């Protein structure tokens, strides 16, 4: 009760049935007024309150009134709906925050001359996970092996080997290693035989893979695997300019060694012979 306001005991019944009652204050259209007589347009339930101001609902009719528990539930429901609607417009339902990215597939593989579309999954702080359909930037660290569309994520094979692919969005990034292969290729080598002296270096071997009209050099740095038989730590071969260069140190056992190249997706393996002489 506000200070200075004398308590008034109100007993309000159906105004159409009660000829009169003590004066009470009404608040209507933003103004206070004293209403000494009953208003027959109201049909309020019997209540008794000790209040200073009665909030008067002028336009309700008996056919639309709720009483007792129905009234309380209706008011509560209306307030909740209004709050939910109003607050949601102000951002009550907060969007989750992106916390990490992951490229799918995690280790993409594509043939030379072929394409594959990559996607990015985002993980959010509420634990949800979904594909990012926009706002992603793509790049390749070795475009001579594989390129990727800057905004599309389309991976294209250029030459056999590996390339690092990066996807970035909202100050986050994810990386994957893409492998480019030549499926169904036939391997060949030139020369097929060579010699090398102790502490010397042999002429380079060129291994190639051919698939249709595509011919690429194959080395151990773009997906090829070179095996030396018999195994020797003194005879070594290293990739250089699309070839394999083999050297023998002074302690290499004399004799013939077989160099065998294998390649994923190739229909064959290919071998050359290297003979170590003194």
Asked whether residue 28 falls in the same domain as residue 75, the answer is yes
Residues 83 and 152 in one domain: no
**Same domain, yes or no: 25 and 58:** yes
Smallest CA-to-CA distance from 65 within 120, 14, 139 is with 14
Whether 2 is covered by a domain: the verdict is no
Tell which of 150, 181, 212 closes a domain: 181
Residues 80, 13 share a domain: yes
Is the pLDDT reported for residue 62 higher than 70? no
Q: Which of 80-89, 145-154, 207-216 has the lowest mean pLDDT?
A: 80-89
How far does Cα 268 stand from its chain's mean position?
Answer: 40
Q: How far apart are CA 160 and CA 270, in angstroms?
A: 17
Q: Tell me the pLDDT tens digit for each residue of 18-39.
A: 455 455 445 455 555 555 554 4
Q: Are residues 193 and 154 in the same domain?
A: no
pLDDT tens sequence across 200-251: 999 999 999 999 888 999 999 988 999 999 999 999 999 999 999 999 999 9
Domain end, chosen from 137, 152, 181, is at: 181
CATH at residue 262: 2.60.40.1080
Q: Sign of the C-alpha dihedral, residues 256, 257, 261, 267?
A: positive
194 burial level (CB within 10 Å; 0-12, 13-18, 19+):
middle
Q: 210 lies in a domain?
A: yes
pLDDT digits (tens, 9 = 90+) for 87-115: 444 455 688 999 999 999 999 999 999 99
Predicted local confidence at residue 27, as pLDDT? 47
pLDDT band at 58 (very low <50, low <70, confident <90, very high): very low
Going by the DSSP 8-state scheme, the letter that residue 78 receives in this structure is H
User: Looking at the structure, do residues 64 and 135 belong to the same domain, yes or no?
Assistant: no
54-58, 102-106, 143-147, 260-264: least confident range: 54-58
In a domain, 47, yes or no: yes
Residue 1 domain flag: no
Q: Domain count of the chain? A: 3
Mean pLDDT of the chain: 80
**b/e 227-264 (16+ beta carbons within 10 angstroms → b):** ebeeebeebebebeebbbbbebeeebeeeebebebbbe
Across the range 171-184, mean pLDDT stands at 94
Q: Are residue 273 and residue 200 in the same domain, yes or no?
A: yes
Query: Could you tell me if residue 192 is inside a domain?
Result: yes
Give a three-class secondary structure readout of 144-207: CCEEECCCCCEEEECCCEEEEEEEEECCEEEEEEEEEECCCCEEEEECCEEEEECCEECCCEEE
Q: What is the mean pLDDT of residues 159-176?
A: 95
Q: Which of 127, 157, 181 is the last residue of a domain?
A: 181
Q: Residue 227: its pLDDT value, please? A: 98
Structure tokens that stand for 92 in this block: 């009550």
Pair (177, 190) in one structural domain: no
> The whole model's pTM is what?
0.57
Cα 30 to chain center, whole Å? 54
Show the tokens assigned to 276: 């170590």
CA–CA separation, 271 vs 230, rounded Å? Answer: 13
For residue 227, being part of any structural domain is answered with yes
pLDDT the model gives residue 80: 65
Over range 109-125, report the average pLDDT: 95
3-state secondary structure of 62: helix
Q: Which two tokens stand for residue 214?
A: 């595509």
Are residues 134 and 212 both part of a single domain?
Answer: no
Q: What are the pLDDT digits (tens) for 178-190?
A: 999 899 999 999 9
Q: Are residues 193 and 233 in the same domain?
A: yes
Q: How many helices (H) and strands (E) does the chain have?
A: 1, 25
Q: What is the rounded average pLDDT of the residues 44-51?
A: 42
Strand order in the sheet with 129-131: 98-104, 119-124, 129-131
Which residues pair with residue 260 across a beta bridge?
227, 271
* Residue 3: inside a domain: no
Alpha-carbon distance 112 to 200, whole Å? 36
| Lowest mean pLDDT across 40-44, 115-119, 160-164 | 40-44
- 153 with 195, same domain? no
DSSP for 220-258 reads: TTTT-EEEEES--SSEEEEEETTEEEEEE-TTPPPEEEE
How would residue 265 be classed by pLDDT, with cut points 50, 70 and 90?
A: confident
Look up the domain containing 149 and give its range. 98-181
């Amino acid at each position: 009760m506000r200070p200075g306001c004398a308590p008034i005991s109100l007993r309000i019944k159906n105004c159409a049935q009660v000829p009169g009652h003590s004066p009470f204050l009404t608040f209507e259209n933003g103004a206070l007024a004293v209403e000494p007589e009953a208003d027959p347009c109201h049909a309020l339930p019997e209540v008794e309150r000790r209040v200073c101001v009665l909030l008067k609902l002028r336009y309700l009719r008996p056919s639309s009134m709720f009483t007792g528990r129905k009234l309380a539930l209706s008011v509560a429901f209306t307030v909740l709906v209004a709050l939910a609607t109003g607050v949601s417009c102000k951002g009550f339902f907060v969007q989750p925050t992106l916390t990490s990215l992951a490229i799918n597939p995690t280790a993409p593989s594509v043939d030379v001359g072929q394409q594959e579309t990559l996607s990015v999954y985002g993980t959010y702080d509420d634990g949800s996970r979904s594909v990012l359909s926009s706002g992603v930037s793509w790049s390749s660290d070795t475009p001579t092996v594989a390129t990727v569309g800057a905004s599309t994520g389309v991976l294209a094979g250029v030459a056999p080997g590996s390339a690092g692919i990066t996807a970035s969005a909202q100050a986050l990034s994810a990386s994957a290693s893409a492998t480019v292969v030549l499926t169904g290729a036939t391997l060949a080598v030139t020369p097929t035989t060579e010699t090398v002296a102790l502490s010397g270096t042999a002429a380079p071997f060129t291994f190639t893979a051919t698939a249709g009209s595509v011919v690429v050099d194959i080395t151990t740095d773009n997906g090829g695997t070179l095996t030396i038989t018999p195994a020797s730590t003194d005879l070594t071969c290293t990739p250089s300019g699309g070839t394999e260069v083999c050297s023998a140190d002074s302690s290499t056992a004399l004799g013939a060694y077989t160099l065998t190249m294998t390649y994923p997706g190739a229909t064959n393996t290919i071998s050359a012979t290297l003979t170590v002489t003194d």
